[in-house]
Amino acid sequence: MVGDIRTTSSQSSKINLQKHMKQTLTHILTTGAIGLASLSGISQAAVLIDGTTLNGSFESSDLSIAGDAKNGFDMVGKDITNWQNTDTTYAGVFDNSYDDTGVDYNAGGAHSGNQFAFVHGGDSGTFNLTSYIISPGDLFTLTWWGRADTIAVRLFSSSDGTYGTASTLNELVQVQDNAYTQYSFNYAAVPADYGKTIGVSIFHPLAGGWSNADDVMLTVVPEPSSSMSLIFGGAALVLRRSRKRSSAA
């Protein structure tokens, strides 16, 4: 009789332990899923370039007169905030000259706001280098509005924070029409990119002609797979420990 009671008590303990294991595992996975959803929401908000971050809309500059065009990527003292040019020459006059690459103040010509970029065929164009350091699993999305002739928009990395070490990650060359059209592409970071900074360049790939760009946006979303692995790894560890306790009982 005593032996039967002990057997029943042991079986009851095992059943309770199994229930506890299931509850613990469910709690870990549920908490992990909620955490990942929260993580995803935060990472999607990682904007590297847009209208208010690093002047993706070209609105922040020294232009103030409607119809005024500045070769601001080339001229000393006429810089366009956050955008630069590798060309150090300037062959035109200061104002109202469409020499090669710059920003135009013309509300009717902008996609939004008052200003937009123009690039000339044969010129090196313009670039915007962020301070963001590429990490494993990063997924980048580059979006912009363009019009008028052919334009090339490139996502690049830099190993020393300068354009001199720029390496192309992805690029889209698009033949445009006179109406603004939105374009975009994605890029998933690879091991060769890790530890480098990322930037955007815009240029006209052909000789002659003009192209316009406006409202450039670059975002990054970290890959959640590493977080998922940690969650399931932790769940497996709890499960193994619970099984050992069950066997000992």
For residue range 169-181, list pLDDT tens digits in order: 999 998 877 889 9
Residue 207, CA distances (Å) to 46, 96, 123, 171 in order:
36, 22, 8, 18
Chain centroid to CA 130: how far? Answer: 10
**Cα–Cα distance measured from residue 53 to residue 50, given in angstroms and rounded to the nearest whole number:** 5
Q: What is the pLDDT of residue 194?
A: 97
Q: What is the pLDDT of residue 73?
A: 58
Most confident of 23-27, 124-128, 158-162: 158-162
Torsion angle (degrees, nearest 10) of CA 231, 234, 238, 244: 140
The pTM of the whole model exceeds 0.75: no
Q: Is the pLDDT of residue 64 over 70?
A: no
Chain centroid to CA 36: how far? Answer: 19
Torsion angle (degrees, nearest 10) of CA 172, 175, 178, 181: -30
**Cα–Cα distance measured from residue 80 to residue 20, given in angstroms and rounded to the nearest whole number:** 63
Which of the two residues, 211 and 209, has the higher pLDDT score?
A: 211
Coil, helix or strand at residue 184: strand
H or E element at residue 201: strand 197-203
Q: What is the pLDDT of residue 41?
A: 47
Q: What is the pLDDT of residue 59?
A: 87
Which of the two residues, 178 and 64, has the higher pLDDT score?
A: 178
Question: Tokens standing for 50?
Answer: 């847009």
Burial 169-207 (b: 16+ CB within 10 A, else e): bebeeeebeeebeeeeeebebeeebeebbbbbbbbbbee
**Cα–Cα distance measured from residue 242 to residue 248, given in angstroms and rounded to the nearest whole number:** 10
Whole-number average pLDDT of the chain: 75
Mean pLDDT of 9-20: 60
Q: Is the pLDDT of residue 204 over 80?
A: yes
CA angle 43, 46, 50 (to 5 degrees): 150
- Report the percentage of the chain scoring pLDDT > 90: 35
Q: Which of 51, 75, 50 is nearest to 62 (CA)?
A: 75
Mean pLDDT of 157-177: 92
Q: Is the pLDDT of residue 94 over 50?
A: no
